[in-house]
Structure formats: C-alpha cells, structure tokens
C-alpha cells in the first residue's frame, strides 16, 4: 500500500504539472486571437483622405484657437458626414505666395490627396508684382498635381486704396489661373465676411469665429465632392 500511495501521489503531481504547463497557452489563446483580429482590422481600415490647407493668417486663424479656424470646422463637418479625413492646417501668418512655395516640398511629403491654396493676400497688401504672385501660384498647383494631389484655389480681393490698376491686375490672376489650370476655385475666400465688423476681429482684417464659420460654409460645397472622390471605395 505504501508503494501504491507513493505512486498515486507521484502521478497526481505529474498531472498537476502538466496542467500548469498547458494552462498559459489556453489562457493566452483568446488574447492572441483578439490581437490578431485588431491587427487585421487596422490593416483593413481605409486610410483617411488627407487635406492640406496652405495659406496665411486667414487660414491659420489669426487670433483664434486653431479649432475655431475654418480648416478645423471643415474637418469636423466632413467627419459628421461619415468621411475619414486628416486635415493639416499649414497656414502661416504673414506668408506670401513665395513663402508658400518654399514650404511646399515639405508639405507634399505628407502625400496630401487635396491641397487647398489660399495665398496672395499679403502679396497684394505689400504691393508685390502680380506676375510674380501668379508664377508662384502656378508652380504650387503644378507641383501639387505632379505629386498626385487635387487642388482648390481660393481667390483674393484687395481694398481699392491700393490703386485701381494694381487691384484689377491682381484680382484677375486668380480666375485666369483657375481657368488655364482647370482647378476648382473659390472666387473670394472672404465673401460675405470682409469689411463686416460683426465678422472680424477689432483689426478689421482677420475673421472672428463667426467669420470663420461663414468661410467654412463657402468652402464646404467645393471641398466635399473632392473628398468623396478621394475616399477609399469611391
């Protein structure tokens, strides 16, 4: 009987050891399956449509939190439509068309699907050559397209005190570029906002939150079809 009991105890210990060795694999199996499913889902998830807003202080949302500037407002509205987007606000206060062109290569490394270009206001206010502004904008559009991005061009107007001839020449370059390059465009980014004290900061130049909401409403119907066309599965 002593031999029997010793053998029984030895067998029981061996069974317990075997069970302990098998248990981690059994416990870990559901975790591994969940991790595998999560990885597969991440691989299958469609990439968001990447939209870069290249502009100056009007795009950056001068004087406001970034989430109140019109690019952020557009991002939220597109997401409410069920569209996956990644919006990059590349607005820099004081920027000119030449400055935007100098930053373009870095922005194109982010592989945008859509490039929204709103530059030229500071060129005009500084009295820079309209021919140079047009050349810079043309190069921006050409290089963005070569990188595979769709382009939206926003036009700009100037106050009349800069001289009628200069204002006329400056404002004419935007529709000409849009027509010649066949890009989507918005005739005037500040339509319905410019010169309205209720829609601008005390400086009278930069839109306040209400002004940015109007800009977003203006841009949205032009931007939406391009986002839908770029969305995976469309």
Tokens of 77: 């509205």
The rounded mean pLDDT for the chain is 87
The verdict on whether 212 is a catalytic residue reads no
Query: Edge-to-edge strand order for the sheet containing 85-91?
Result: 85-91, 49-55, 114-118, 150-154, 184-186
Fold of 50-230: Rossmann fold (3.40.50)
57, 75, 97, 118: which is the annotated catalytic residue? 57
Q: Any residues with CB less than 8 A from the CB of 151 and at least 6 apart, and which?
A: 114, 115, 116, 117, 141, 144, 145, 181, 183, 184
56, 118, 206, 212: which is the annotated catalytic residue? 206
The residues spanned by each domain of the chain are 50-230
The verdict on whether 75 is a catalytic residue reads no
155/157 Cα distance (integer angstroms): 7
The pLDDT of residue 45 = 64
The verdict on whether 95 is a catalytic residue reads no
Q: Which residue has the tokens 């595998």?
A: 36
pLDDT band of residue 8 (cuts 50, 70, 90) is: very low
pLDDT band of residue 234 (cuts 50, 70, 90) is: low
Q: What is the CA radius of gyration of the chain?
A: 29
Kindly report the pTM of this predicted structure: 0.81
The pLDDT of residue 164 = 97
33/219 Cα distance (integer angstroms): 45
pLDDT band of residue 1 (cuts 50, 70, 90) is: very low
């Amino acid at each position: 009987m002593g031999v029997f009991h010793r053998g029984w105890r030895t067998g029981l210990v061996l069974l317990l050891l075997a069970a302990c060795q098998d248990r981690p694999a059994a416990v870990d199996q559901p975790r591994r399956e969940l991790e595998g499913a999560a990885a597969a889902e991440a691989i299958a998830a469609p990439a968001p449509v990447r939209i870069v807003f290249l502009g100056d202080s009007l795009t950056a949302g001068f004087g406001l939190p970034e989430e109140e500037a019109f690019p952020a407002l557009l991002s939220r509205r597109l997401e409410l439509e069920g569209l996956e987007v990644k919006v990059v606000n590349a607005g820099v206060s004081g920027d000119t068309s030449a400055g935007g062109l100098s930053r373009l290569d870095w922005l194109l490394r982010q592989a945008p699907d859509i490039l929204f270009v709103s530059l030229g206001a500071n060129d005009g206010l500084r009295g820079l050559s309209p021919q140079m502004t047009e050349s810079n904008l043309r190069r921006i559009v050409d290089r963005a397209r070569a990188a595979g991005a769709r382009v939206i061009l926003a036009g700009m107007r100037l106050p009349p005190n800069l001289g009628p001839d200069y204002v006329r020449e400056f404002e004419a370059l935007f529709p000409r570029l849009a027509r010649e390059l066949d890009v989507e465009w918005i005739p005037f980014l500040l339509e319905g906002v410019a010169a309205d004290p209720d829609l601008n900061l005390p400086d009278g130049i930069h839109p306040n939150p209400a002004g940015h909401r109007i800009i977003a409403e203006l841009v949205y119907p032009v931007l939406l079809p391009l986002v839908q066309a770029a969305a995976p599965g469309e």
